[in-house]
Amino acid sequence: MTSPPTTYAVHDEDTSFCSNCKQLLSQLDSQVERQAYLKRDLSSLASALAEEEDMRASVEQDKEALEEDVADITSALFSALNQILMDEVTDRDGLVQINRETNGKLVQVLDAWDTRDARLKQVKGLLVELDSAVHTSAHVSHTMSHRYSQPPMNATLSRFTSRSSTSSGSHPLRYSIDQPSPVDTNTIRIDGFILS
C-alpha cells in the first residue's frame, strides 16, 4: 500500500518572511534602477562640464593673447608719443626764440602749436587709462582662474562614485547591529536588515 505524500506545515512566520523578502527585493530593484539613472545623469553632467571647461579655457587663452597684443601696442604708442612730446618741447623753444626776434610774427603758429600739444597730452592720458584697464583685466583673469580652478571631472566623478558605493556599507543589504535610529524614507528596515 502506497503511503500518502508527506506534507509540511507552513508557519505564519515563514509566510511573513517570504513576503518581507519580496518587498525587500522589490525595493532593492528600485534602488538599483535609481542608482543607474543617477550614474547616467552624472556622466552626462560630467561631459557637459568638461566641455564647458574646455570652452572657458579656450576663451581665456584668446583673452590673454588679446591682452598681450593690446599691451604691446600701448607700450609702442607710449614710446612714440613720449618722443613726439619731447621733440615738440625742443621745437617750441626754437619757435619762441624766432617769435621774439620777429616781434611776434609767429604768435598764431605758437598758438596752433600749443593746441596740438594739448591734444597730444590728451591722447597720452587715454593711453594711460587703456594701459590701466588692460593690467586690471589681466589681474582679474589670473585671480579668477586661480580661485575657480577645479580638478579634472573624471577624478571628481570617480571620487563621488567611490563615496556613493561605500557610504552605506559594503553592500546595500546589510544586517543592523546598531541601536535603533531614525531613518529616512529611502531606508527600509525589515527583520533586522536595512536596505539603503
Q: What is the value of pTM for the model shown? A: 0.49
Angle at 122 between CA 70 and CA 95, to 5 degrees: 120
Residue 168 pLDDT greater than 60, yes or no: no
Work out the pLDDT band at 146, boundaries 50, 70, 90.
low
Task: Determine the 3-state secondary structure of 59 from DSSP.
Answer: helix
Decide if 191 contacts 17 (C-beta within 8 A): yes
Q: What is the pLDDT, as a whole number, of residue 64?
A: 87
Read out DSSP for 106-151?
Answer: THHHHHHHHHHHHHHHHHHHHHHHHHHHHHHHHHHHHHHHHHS---
Instruction: Tell me the average pLDDT across 28-54.
Output: 91
- Work out the pLDDT band at 67, boundaries 50, 70, 90: confident
Per-residue pLDDT of 5-17, as tens digits, reads 555 444 555 556 6
Comparing 158 with 97, the larger pLDDT belongs to: 97
